[in-house]
Structures are given as structure tokens and as C-alpha cells.
């Protein structure tokens, strides 16, 4: 396995859940990341869906001890470059496009690209990928669909994301081809707005215990 695949595997094994974060306030992003790390969830995917997402990522990378900062919703080569400069240690995309894959190949930051069909997965396998995001997990077919791919594609390990919750995460985590799941339920907008960091640490601790 190449170095970047090994690095992304280590990130996926750091905890059972990678929180998918949509945030635009740098101070809140740092507090949120500290709350997640305190609950045992180090890898954090900051999605590039807000104007200040890159600043949030940068602040987490430089200020939050123990965090593994990552960038989500990386769609373009320009974004792949920007998240590297912001300190991302992994990047996630909902799918895979040739330009982004070229940029990822040239970047030191490992990419976890999204795939939902056997053909998409095989195309990424041809490019050396062994770790993929299964997206949108629940809408595409859920645990039974993903489990059906483990026999023909045993080399691939997944992070299912999209419609994953505390209630259905164990069904995904029980699959032989799943290392972790991704989801936004660890960073609810309401708790962030209320600055309920203790509440978020509690949700994170429950997520961290999912594999135990």
C-alpha cells in the first residue's frame, strides 16, 4: 500500500466516526473541534461549503491539539491546493473527477474519494485507491448494498457517509469492508449556535464508543 493510502487508513481507524462539519465561524470551529477531540473523535472533516471554511480548517489545524483536520466537499484542483495550504491532513470528495484525481495525485494530502457503484469503485482502484467514501450511503442502498460489494471487491475499505446516524452506524460498522462512517450528527447546527460544547463532547464520546 502506498504512503497516502496508509495515511488515510490510519485516519479512518482513528475513531469509528468522522464528523462532517459545516461551519463558518472560526472561533466556533476551534471550540467545536476541541469538543470533538475531548470526546475521542480526532478526525474532523470541514466541508468547503461556507465562505470561511478554509479559515476554520486552518484554525483547527494550528490550534487544536490532537485533531486530525480534514477538508470535505473538495471538488476542484484549486480547492485541493488550498486545503493543503490550510493544513488539511486528508481531503474528501463526494465523487471523483479526472481533474481532481490529477491534483490529488500531485498533492501530499491523501484523498478519500466518493463512489457509489462497482464501476466507480473499480475505476478508482485502477488509480491505486483502496479507501473510498461510499456516498450517499443510505440513499444509494445502505448497509446491505455496501455489504454486497465486499465479496467481489475485498481490497476496498469504505467510509459510508450520507444518511448515517447514531442509530444505523452500527449496521455499517459491522460490515467487513467498513473502517468508519461519516456523518453530520456529531456537529448539530443548533448545539453549535448554543455553544453547547459539553453536549457535543457527549455525542462524540457516544460515537467513539460505537466500536467497543
Question: Which residues form the catalytic set?
Answer: 45, 133
Burial of 3-15, coded b for 16+ CB within 10 Å and e otherwise, reads ebeebbbebbebb
| Binding of ligand 3PG by 162 (CB under 6 A) | yes
Among 161, 169, 197, 207, binds ligand 3PG (CB under 6 A): 161
Backbone angles phi, psi at 156, to 5 degrees: -100, 140
**142 binds ligand 3PG per the rule CB under 6 A:** no
Rounded Cα–Cα distance for residues 180 and 177 (Å): 9
Q: Is 202 in the site for ligand 3PG (CB under 6 A)?
A: no
**Run of H or E including 160:** strand 157-160
- The answer to whether residue 70 forms part of the interface with ligand 3PG (CB under 6 A) is no
Q: For residue 165, give the nearest of 148, 182, 190 by alpha carbon.
A: 182
For the chain, counts of helices (H) and of strands (E): 11, 9
Q: Which stretch binds ligand 3PG (CB under 6 A): 29-37, 162-170, 187-195, 199-207?
A: 162-170
Cell reading at 127: 488509480
Q: Verify binding: residue 184, ligand 3PG, rule CB under 6 A.
A: yes
Give the interface segment with ligand 3PG, choosing from 3-11, 78-86, 160-168, 197-205 (CB under 6 A): 160-168
Between 19 and 38, how does the x/- string for binding to ligand 3PG read (CB under 6 A)? -x------------------
Q: Which residue ranges make up the site for ligand 3PG (CB under 6 A)?
A: 20, 135, 161-164, 183-184
Amino acid at each position: 500500500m502506498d504512503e497516502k493510502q496508509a495515511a488515510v487508513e490510519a485516519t479512518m481507524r482513528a475513531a469509528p466516526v468522522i464528523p462532517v462539519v459545516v461551519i463558518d465561524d472560526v472561533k466556533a470551529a476551534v471550540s467545536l473541534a476541541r469538543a470533538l477531540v475531548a470526546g475521542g473523535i480526532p478526525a474532523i472533516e470541514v466541508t468547503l461549503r461556507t465562505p470561511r471554511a478554509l479559515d476554520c480548517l486552518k484554525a483547527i489545524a494550528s490550534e487544536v491539539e490532537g485533531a486530525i483536520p480534514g477538508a470535505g466537499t473538495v471538488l476542484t484542483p484549486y480547492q485541493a491546493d488550498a486545503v493543503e495550504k490550510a493544513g488539511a491532513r486528508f481531503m474528501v470528495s463526494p465523487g471523483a473527477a479526472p481533474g481532481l484525481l490529477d491534483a490529488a495525485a500531485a498533492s501530499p494530502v491523501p484523498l478519500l474519494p466518493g463512489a457509489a457503484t462497482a464501476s466507480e469503485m473499480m475505476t478508482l482502484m485502477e488509480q491505486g485507491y483502496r479507501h473510498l467514501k461510499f456516498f450517499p450511503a443510505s440513499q444509494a442502498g445502505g448497509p446491505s448494498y455496501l455489504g454486497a460489494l465486499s465479496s467481489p471487491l475485498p481490497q476496498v475499505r469504505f467510509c459510508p457517509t450520507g444518511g448515517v446516524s447514531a442509530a444505523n452506524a452500527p449496521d455499517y460498522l459491522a460490515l467487513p469492508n467498513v473502517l468508519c462512517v461519516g456523518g453530520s450528527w456529531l456537529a448539530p447546527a443548533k448545539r453549535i449556535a448554543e455553544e453547547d460544547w459539553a453536549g457535543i463532547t457527549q455525542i462524540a464520546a457516544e460515537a467513539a464508543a460505537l466500536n467497543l
